[in-house]
Amino acid sequence: MRGNDYNTAMTEPTSSPQSSAQAEPAKPATPAISSTPEYSSRFRRKNTGPSWSVTLMLVFLLLAVVIGAGAWFSQKRFDTAGREVATQVQGFTAQLVETKREAKLALGLVESQAKLIVTLQQSLAESKSQFEGLEEAWASFNKGMEDSMLANDIDRLVTLASQQLRLASNVNNAVMALETALSTLVRADRPRFAAVQRAISADLDRLRSVPLVDVSALSVRLEALATLIGRAPLLVPDAAAPNVAAVPSAAARAPTARPAAAQATVVAPAPATPPGVPQTGAAEPPVGEAWWDLAWRKTVLWSKAVAVFVAKELASVVSIQRVTDASALLMSPEQGAQLRANLRTRVLTAQMALLMHQPSVWRAEIASIEASLTTRYDPKAVDTVAALRLVRELASASVVAALPDMSDSIAALEAVRVQELNKKSED
């Protein structure tokens, strides 16, 4: 600032006061701007600020720095993206190689399976041709089979059916055996066995029309009978039925209704009655009745009440009963339990006879059970009556039906054998 002032002072012309006064009229009056403080300060500020070229260079430098930084960041991002893309490409290449390898393996497996399928088709064709050959051979064998072999087979089946009917009374097994024989004859298609075929068909029809024994219903009845045997009371009390009802006596069965005269009550207190005898009241005595008539009436009523009481007490102590076997009254409770167990065993034996179709054993066991129920059990008990009724129904049932025999089939088969023997003898 001081240098600028000095330069300004040095450049300004010096003049004397006279010369300035002389020259003053010639020049126009101009204000001394340069000498004012505002002008000097503006001039100094203009000379001291940066020039426009420096400012432009700074702007270009700043733009260059910004562009360089952006280019650096872009290059860095591009490099990162390039590395990621290269990694993905490498992964895709590895997957492609693995896929090619798996495709080759699958192609090889398909080719091996195709070869195996072709081999199996060839084996199937060979097996089919062999089966057709065996079928033709079997057909020719059946056609050329001798009648004696067929007769032996039919004879075996008919004999089996006859044994099932005679020994076990099993209709189902006999029907199955005859159906097998009939199907064999139909398959053989021999005209010489036509009579045998008709006889077997007739025997089959007879067997199918045989009424079957309802084993399930009879078994249910036997189980009900076993339950009644274990519950019905004996003539003497035991562990199964400890309370045996006494037979009511004549006094107990007599009506206890009092006569019309006993319905009257008296005003006087009634005489003392034994314990257990109901108090008998009397109606109001008629007017004018004598005291001895009233006393007589009360005496009669009291004596009748005592008689009824004594009869009831004796009936609960003493019972009179008619039995066919005196030893039935001498059984102990242990013997009663043993009797029930024996009867249940007989019921099981009857059930086995039902399943085995043995009518003799069935009838014997049912008869024994009926005899025991009649002689050892209380005939007036409800369970005993039901058990006896059930036993009689079982005794009338049949455990085996009338079964036909195989005589027609056997006779027809024997006729075929005789014809075959005659033919061989003629040859």
Percent of the chain topping pLDDT 70: 70
| Residue of 388, 389, 356 lying closest to 374 (CA atoms) | 388
Contact between residue 422 and residue 202 where contact means Cβ atoms under 8 Å apart: no
One of 1.10.1160, 1.20.1070, 1.20.120, 2.30.30 is the CATH number of 147-212+405-426, namely 1.20.120
- The DSSP annotation for 266-303 comes to -SSPPPP--TTPPP----PPPTT--HHHHHHHHHHHHH
> b/e string for 341-379 if b means 16 or more Cβ within 10 A?
eebbebbebbbebbeebbeebbbebbeebbebbeebbbe
pLDDT for residue 168: 73
In the predicted model, is pLDDT for residue 384 greater than 70? yes
pLDDT for residue 319: 58
pLDDT for residue 376: 85
Can you read off the two tokens belonging to residue 211? 């009424």
**CA-to-CA distance for 413 and 193, rounded, in angstroms?**
8
Lowest-pLDDT range of 247-251, 299-303, 413-417, 418-422: 247-251
Say which amino acid occupies 131: F
Residue-wise pLDDT tens digits, 387-396: 999 999 998 8
Contact between residue 388 and residue 371 where contact means Cβ atoms under 8 Å apart: no
pLDDT, average across residues 355-367:
88
pLDDT for residue 387: 93
Contact between residue 207 and residue 175 where contact means Cβ atoms under 8 Å apart: yes
pLDDT for residue 422: 79
| Residue 26 C-beta-side C-alpha neighbours within 13 Å | 5
pLDDT, average across residues 23-42:
46
Can you read off the two tokens belonging to residue 306? 């005592």
Residue-wise pLDDT tens digits, 132-188: 888 887 766 665 456 778 888 888 999 998 888 887 777 888 889 999 999 988 888
User: Which single residue is written with the structure tokens 């003799």?
Assistant: 360
In the predicted model, is pLDDT for residue 84 greater than 60? yes
Residue extent(s) of CATH 1.20.120 domains in the chain: 147-212+405-426
pLDDT for residue 13: 44
Residue-wise pLDDT tens digits, 177-235: 999 999 988 888 888 888 888 999 998 888 888 777 778 888 999 999 999 998 888 88
pLDDT for residue 409: 87
pLDDT, average across residues 336-361:
89
Residue 344 is inside which H or E element, if any?
helix 333-356
Residue-wise pLDDT tens digits, 43-54: 455 555 567 888
Residue-wise pLDDT tens digits, 287-297: 566 777 788 88
Contact between residue 236 and residue 244 where contact means Cβ atoms under 8 Å apart: yes
pLDDT, average across residues 360-382:
90
Residue ranges of E strands in 69-196: none
**CA-to-CA distance for 355 and 357, rounded, in angstroms?**
6
Name the pLDDT band for 236 (thresholds 50, 70, 90): confident
- What is the DSSP secondary structure assignment for residue 319, as one 8-state letter? -
Contact between residue 359 and residue 395 where contact means Cβ atoms under 8 Å apart: no
Q: Rg of the chain over CA atoms, in angstroms?
A: 69
Query: Mean pLDDT over all residues of the chain?
Result: 75
359 compared with 1, residue with greater pLDDT: 359
Lowest-pLDDT range of 30-34, 64-68, 406-410: 30-34
| Residue of 359, 345, 62 lying closest to 229 (CA atoms) | 345
Instruction: For residue 276, give every residue at least 6 positions away whose Cβ sits within 8 Å of its Cβ, in sequence order, or none.
Output: 309, 313
Q: Residue 234's beta-bridge partner residues?
A: 377
In the predicted model, is pLDDT for residue 369 greater than 90? yes
Question: How many angstroms separate the Cα of 120 from the Cα of each of 124, 308, 388?
Answer: 6, 107, 76
- The verdict on pTM exceeding 0.85 is no
Can you read off the two tokens belonging to residue 260? 């019309």
